[in-house]
Amino acid sequence: MPDAGPSQWALSAVLLVLGAFLAIRAWRMAMKEPDSEPKIEVLAGIGGGLVCGIAVGLSALFLGEAIRESQEQASWRADVATAESIPGFVIGDHNVEGINFSGKSLHDADFHDAHLHGFQFRDADLTGANFVGADLRGANLIGANLQDADLTGAKLDNALLHSANLSHTDLREISLAGTKTNPRTCWPKSLGPKDLEGLLANAVVERYEDDATGRTLTAQDDIKEDGLKGGQRVPSCDLWKNGMRIHPEGGPVAPPQPPHEPQ
């Protein structure tokens, strides 16, 4: 709604009603008093002019407001896109489509109920962030720090959680169908082997290349290490201690391709 005061809206309404009244009066006179042509033309001209003037004025007012809002939105998006740290970030009514959040510090950010399908959060610091009910399907959260975040009811189907830190994260009622993890994804201590197995029942555990040892860890190697498939639990996470990354990420390794069979 354009930023106009009550008096301005009242005056516009009065002039619009007056213009409509004069135009209708001229039409009635034309029907009943065809000989009063000069008076009819005057009334019709005044009424039509008022109606057209108000219409043009209101159109210009709404157009100016739309341009102002568009400029504010563009400025806000530019600020978010270039900022490295935005503590307490809130989406509100803004459009964040296409913004890359990778590498940003977003402590205590509010993304609740947000549509973040396929968004980029790689290596982002999302400590304490609110993702309650958020749609994170297909989102890139590789290496992201989600310690103390609330993911209650969030959809993470097909999301990438390789080497992410989910220690002390609220994972109630989340969906992880097709989600990808690796042997260095860090899970809360409250999740036992059976809990994690159930949580990742429809997830995909991919390989991890350990730069420190030069080993390539498979899902089977992951289980041999600590009995857990799909990562490690606090306090035994090799990449994360007390919410801080302590080891460079090796990254996911593409699965081997099947050998080519001759025709």
pLDDT digits (tens, 9 = 90+) for 98-113: 999 999 999 999 999 9
Amino acid at 30: A
In the chain, how many domains are there? 2
- Average pLDDT of the chain to the nearest whole number: 80
Of all helices (H) and strands (E), which one includes residue 29?
A: helix 6-32
| Three-state secondary-structure class, residue 77 | helix
What pLDDT is stored for residue 106 in this prediction?
97
Q: How confident is the model at residue 257 (pLDDT cuts 50, 70, 90)?
A: very low
State mean pLDDT over 121-139. 97
> Is residue 75 included in any domain, yes or no?
yes
pTM of the model: 0.70
Last residue of a domain, one of 35, 63, 79: 79
Please state, in angstroms and rounded to a whole number, the distance separating the CA atoms of residues 171 and 195.
11
What pLDDT is stored for residue 66 in this prediction?
60
Last residue of a domain, one of 27, 53, 79: 79
Question: Domain of 132?
Answer: 86-254
Q: Looking at the chain, which runs of residues are DSSP E strands? A: 180-181, 186-187, 204-205, 207-209, 216-217, 232-233, 240-241, 244-245, 252-253
Q: Is the pLDDT of residue 251 over 50?
A: no
List of residues 6+ apart from 37 with CB closer than 8 A: none
Q: What is the pLDDT of residues 13-50, one digit of tens each?
A: 655 565 565 556 555 655 565 555 555 555 556 555 65
Last residue of a domain, one of 79, 101, 116: 79
